[in-house]
Amino acid sequence: MKLSIIIPVLNEASVLRQKLAGLQHFRVVGHELILVDGGSDDETLHLAEGLVDQAVTAPKGRSLQMNAGAAVATGDGLLFLHADTTLPLDADMLITNCLSTGEGWGRFDVRLTGRHGLFRIIERMISWRSRLTGIASGDQGMFVSTTLFNRLEGYAPIPLMEDLELSRRLIKIQRPHCLKACVVTDSRRWEKHGILTTVLLMWRLRLQYYAGVAPERLAKSYRTQGKGAA
């Protein structure tokens, strides 16, 4: 089973080559890396040369970029990977084992890079919440069979909460396979803006989304406050 690892990026020149270098072993065993640039004005695309199987451009926005990557993917399964998230070395085996036994989609547990004790609590809460609700967030390394993704016509073209929206549609078909292995997500944004401040913002945005606030309005609030990932 072949995986297509789709990475949406925007101005990631400072970390991109290191990130892509750590994914080359997946290419060696037959999986593909697809970089989807949302209009970077730095050296992002240039630095990706030779390190990805395909580099495409798309309008800015994770949902649009990830859909563009899926449109050119040739794998049986799709793994959507944020640029600040690192996969376990055996991620491909874990995912293909899942998908080959009929599990249509899933995600990993998450670990944050920060050393503060609050991060250990946040990690556990994210994973427990996901197991309880069946909702996965983008920084958990969401994966889905290509057939199922195409059946649902991919991500909704919304500027925020695209991962939650897709999860809600997927869970109507099947609950996710929650892998205990961890992806590692960079916590620098949390640390920059304050751990508790970022947590509160994330939860406020989520609650507003579930209450029916338009993603466009949430995205405007997110940009204005300039806090971590929602």
Q: At residue 110, does pLDDT exceed 70?
A: yes
Number of C-beta neighbours around residue 153 at 10 A: 9
Q: At residue 74, does pLDDT exceed 60?
A: yes
In contact, 6 and 80? CB cutoff 8 Å: yes
pLDDT, tens only, 132-158: 999 999 999 999 999 999 999 999 999
> CB within 8 A of 189, min separation 6: which ones?
198, 227, 228, 229
Mean pLDDT (whole number) for 46-59: 96
Tokens at 138, concatenated: 């983008």
- Is the domain spanning 3-225 CATH 3.30.2020.10? The answer is no
pLDDT, tens only, 179-230: 999 999 998 877 887 888 888 888 888 889 889 888 888 888 777 765 443 3
pTM for the model stands at 0.93
**Nearest alpha carbon to residue 2 among 105, 145, 177, 142:** 145
d(CA 187, CA 53): 28
Confidence of residue 99 (pLDDT cuts 50, 70, 90): very high
